[in-house]
Structure 1
């Protein structure tokens, strides 16, 4: 295995371990908390995330990763800027907690916002060390720290929900996870000199942060806006339903995209410095991503009913049509994880902000209008807004890489065939389940097996490049596996 493959392997172990805990914790919490209680937690999370995103990219991880020559002064200045801003955010949230709870006519939001604000006091420590580990490709250490944090989140959230803490259970759970992550990273890094205050390079950090934070805040606000609109216009039950639908729709992101995200920026920057053709890199990446992304979303859309029945329980079946609409819409975002790293790599972080300002405000207007017609209308609006956003992002990337529409179409053709073949096989199992010939568990198990077989056949039929990468990964795992077993002499 080369360094990139090892990094992806460790990142996968990190994300899959955390995802397994998330699935179990969510299944348990769905049976302990009502949709309305989930809705209150979702709004608390949305408010703190939007306010945090407004400032946290000043001195954030992306600055430390993309910097060509990183000096101790850069690191200390980035940490200092992040710490100062995070303290300001925490204080701002404490001051605004009452006003925000009044805005949404929900008294319980105040306490949740105040507790969530404490996370920002820890973020500069964990964020700085995490960025340094990512830059140095130390994903094994990062995986262990993140997994420890995920265990803390799951245990505290479930324990407090059983104890009757209602919507505050996951809020306290998130804080416990932040504390655990920070302590684990500090114990593993041990270079506390990087956390000494300094403002020597603050001008460079603020210059990068102006654009990077702009991209972050508008994208975070857009992603969380449906929940905020629904909470203000409809009710917290609608927020809870939409939040659960989003969680299932974004499973691919947790399985694949979030595995790749920590690696993408360092790898693209490294290949740029090595003089590689970034156009070829981009086209290769979207071909591989789409061959996994599209079939997965089609499978979830078709099998949404048995998935929801097993995972969340029969009381959450109202989520099914929302999941199907969101899965179809999210197929447009097959290249989303590449957009920001590519624009940073070509030295145009400004275009990342411009493209967001072009695509997201009109999308927000569509979502706002749809929220007056209910949660299903909000989900349906994504079928219009997400393809528009994807087209704008690809246009800006294409300007720098010399991409043409025919390049994209030709690159995605094989992935489209693989998706159709996968959908054909999955639909048969879904029809048997809907007809009552298979139980939810039996239908999901058979659908998963048939979908995997059809997906593999589709890759073989088209000779998709993803096959080669899967073979390389399998060979690498086969070589690594014997090294992980204890030797006889050690037993």
Structure 2
């Protein structure tokens, strides 16, 4: 197993463990909190996420990872810039609570925003240490810390929700998770303390990279969260809560796959670039692999949305089924989204990453804003226009640097389209039988998972898809790696 494969495996353990915890927490909290209460939490979370994106790339993970030679002064400068900006944003968010509560006509927002500001005081410490561990591909340690902090946050969230803390329960849970993560990183890596002393000797380079990188992050994060911000103001918090739950289910692919790959993609591409490999070949191979997973996954969620929501969230949330289906179909255009930013950084054009976002996102925001006046379903339907447009712009900018032709992209995706079709055929039959009442929701969902897996593997085999080789290789690597996780007989 190569270092990159091992990193992906450990990152997967981290992310999947976190997803399981979130899955359980969401199922429990959906039965303890109302859609309106979730709506208040969603607004607080959206505002905090946009502000986080505005500073985290100033000396954040991508700067520390992409730099060929990293000195202690580079780390100290990055940490100092991040710390200064985060302190300013924490104060700004605390002061923003009152005006935003008045603007949304929801006084409960104030307390939520004030508590959320505590996270910004911890982020520079945990973010810097985590970035250094990612740079060194120490994903095993990161997995341990992240899972421990996530578990702590989930326990606090559920406990407080049961105690009647309403929408504040998951907010305090998030703060608890941040405290646990920061404490563990500082306690287990005491030697890194010398790197966290203030210094501005290399601030110019940090800020130069951060201006473009954070610009990309802010624009895209704001777009992703804009529907929640618009709906909370234009419609009501119940509509916002429904849309937030629909987005959570639609983004399951990101949680299960993209976020597993995200910590590894940048270091891996930088490493292969240094080795002189052709980035065009890497990109075409990568979109072929990603689409063979993302397309079948999104089709499965769209077709089986009703039984999934019924079992996971409960009958009271079934009205989000049409939203989930629209969002899943639109999200299929984002099969290569996790590659766009790392590829443009790898070719030395982080500026183009910002330009492409500035071209595609503002028109998309106008479409979403207009749709908000027609209801939550119109907002979901608007993504059928906006997401493909954003994907096309990103691929165009990458294609300029890699000299991609449209035919090459289509050829790289041809086998994946067949895999998606073979997967969808069986799942569609199961969905029809479940909707007709022939199969119960639990049995229909279990059967559809088996049918989907069989159809997916059949599609890979029929097309001799490159992903099949990686599946076999990873399985063989796991077979060799697993015994190391178990105690030897001599030790028993």
TM-score (norm 2): 0.99
CA distance in 2, matches of 1:122, 1:342: 30
Shift of 1:172: 0.2
Deviations 1:245-271 (A, max 9, x none): 111001111111100000000000111
**SS across alignment from 2:55:** coil
Moved more, 266-275 or 479-488: 479-488
Aligned to 1:375: 376
CA distance in 2, matches of 1:392, 1:167: 38
Aligned to 1:443: 444
Aligned 1:112-261 pairs, distance under 5 A: 112-190=112-190, 191-261=192-262
Aligned 1:284-433 pairs, distance under 5 A: 284-433=285-434
CA distance in 1, matches of 2:59, 2:278: 29
Deviations 1:411-468 (A, max 9, x none): 0000001101111110111111011111110110001110110111011111100000
Shift of 1:328: 0.2
CA distance in 2, matches of 1:79, 1:184: 18
CA distance in 1, matches of 2:45, 2:483: 43
Aligned to 1:83: 83
Shift of 1:303: 0.1
Aligned to 2:12: 12
Aligned to 2:94: 94
**SS across alignment from 1:54:** helix
Shift of 1:133: 0.3
CA distance in 2, matches of 1:2, 1:170: 38
Aligned 1:262-281 pairs, distance under 5 A: 262-281=263-282
Shift of 1:69: 0.6
CA distance in 2, matches of 1:356, 1:338: 14
Deviations 1:182-203 (A, max 9, x none): 1111122222111111001001
CA distance in 2, matches of 1:245, 1:364: 19
Shift of 1:488: 1.6
Give RMSD over aligned pairs: 0.6
Aligned to 2:103: 103
CA distance in 2, matches of 1:361, 1:245: 23
CA distance in 2, matches of 1:189, 1:270: 25
Aligned to 1:45: 45
The aligned length equals: 491
CA distance in 1, matches of 2:44, 2:377: 22
Aligned to 1:484: 485
Shift of 1:56: 2.4
CA distance in 2, matches of 1:198, 1:332: 43
CA distance in 2, matches of 1:108, 1:152: 25
Shift of 1:485: 1.8
1:333·1:387 contact (CA, 8 Å) conserved in 2?
yes
**SS across alignment from 2:361:** helix
CA distance in 2, matches of 1:251, 1:189: 32
Aligned to 1:66: 66
Moved more, 306-315 or 179-188: 179-188
CA distance in 2, matches of 1:341, 1:296: 23
1:126·1:182 contact (CA, 8 Å) conserved in 2?
yes
Deviations 1:214-252 (A, max 9, x none): 101101100000000000100001111111111100111
CA distance in 2, matches of 1:17, 1:342: 28
Aligned to 1:460: 461
Shift of 1:58: 1.1
Deviations 1:149-208 (A, max 9, x none): 110111000000000000000000000010011111112222211111100100110111
1:141·1:188 contact (CA, 8 Å) conserved in 2?
no
